[in-house]
Amino acid sequence: MRVLVTGGAGFIGSHLVDQLVAGGHEVVVLDRRAEDDPAWADVDGSADVRRVDLTDVGAVARAVEGVEAVSHQAARVGLGVDFDDVVDYATDNDLGTAVLLQALWRARFAGRLVVASSMVVYGEGAYTCPTHGAVRPGVRRPEALDAGRFEPPCPVCGEALAPATIDEDAPLDPRNTYAATKLHTEHLAQTYAREAGVGWAALRYHNVYGPRMPRDTPYAGVASIFRSELAAGRAPQVTEDGGQRRDFVHVTDVARANVAALEAPPEVTGPFNVASGTPHTVLDLAHALVDAAGPGAPAPVVTGAWRGGDVRHITASPARAATRLGFEARVTFAEGMAGFAAET
């Protein structure tokens, strides 16, 4: 199968290319990064590599010719710096996706379409109130966060809530620019699939980590930030009280989920959580990396600081991906973090 991977020199994309090539597929890689970017060294040499920005209509049109499946990984990720990033996010994620889908439409593409989405489309995760059952809390108030009240209260009675796992049928509530663009990516893909009569999947990644993870940028994930702090001899700076629950899933498992989605039959459509199914707190993450770093590594520092647009708890049910895609994560938290901490 000839597979187009956008963002194929990136963190997740390069691992996906590795697995597709190993599986005997012919791979076309689109990525816009500079020619001297060291990430190119991670791209399998047998792939058809094209340095292309997704907003380049002509180049994208040429790249989609003859492809039988598409994995759309290219995106601007993370919370960014502040709302001033909005045009960059909309250009890269919304316009880039639109140009790709228009090219597929004009090429009469009828294969399998997989797009990278994110847990951030949910906003806060699922919660239960002892009195009112399943509830969805609103945006946390700055005055509560400043006072160290990080747990969102029940929106009905104001009492404490218990976090629960969220599934793909939960209401969506994007709470930052990145989240809004990821949800739009899903909507555009679904619209294309309906109009073209093709199978599609949106993979809602949870906290992905592992080899080739971006570092030392405003868009780096928390695992990368903590590792960089430890490499510099500094203590990991843990926001809030460190009790935020997340699902950390290894990048090789995420690539496997993409292969499963690309190879699935057309009727297997819709969104899928890509997660390990075993949540940990952000403070757990910091301690795991400190422990893996060995004696002398500085202990995490809980700062109490908070970031606008962030949520308290978001952990997923991976059941739908297991049932319909046959995907289950294999890399344990302890194993993955030990390997991640040892990377240079």
Write out the chain's pLDDT in tens, 344 residues: 999 999 999 999 999 999 999 999 999 999 999 999 999 999 999 999 999 999 999 999 999 999 999 999 999 987 777 888 999 999 999 999 999 999 999 999 999 999 999 999 999 999 999 999 999 998 999 999 999 999 999 999 999 999 999 999 999 999 889 999 999 999 999 999 999 999 999 999 999 999 999 887 665 689 999 999 999 999 999 999 999 999 999 999 999 999 999 999 999 999 999 999 999 999 999 999 999 999 999 999 999 999 887 899 999 999 999 999 999 999 999 999 999 988 86
178 in catalytic set: yes
**Annotated catalytic residue, options 89, 127, 178, 192:** 178
Would residue 84 be called left, alpha or beta, if left means φ above 0 and alpha means ψ between -120 and 50 degrees? alpha
Phi, psi torsion values for 92, nearest 5 degrees: -70, -45
Instruction: Indicate the burial class of 335 (C-beta count within 10 angstroms; 0-12, 13-18, 19 or more).
Output: exposed
Q: Are 14 and 8 in contact (CB under 8 A)?
A: yes
Instruction: Indicate the burial class of 322 (C-beta count within 10 angstroms; 0-12, 13-18, 19 or more).
Output: middle
Q: Taking the C-alpha atoms of 310, 151, 290 and 298 in order, what is their torsion angle to the nearest 10 degrees?
A: 100
Identify which of 201, 206, 202 has the alpha carbon closest to the alpha carbon of residue 264: 201
Q: Taking the C-alpha atoms of 333, 209, 310 and 175 in order, what is their torsion angle to the nearest 10 degrees?
A: -120
Q: Decide: helix, strand or coil at residue 342.
A: helix
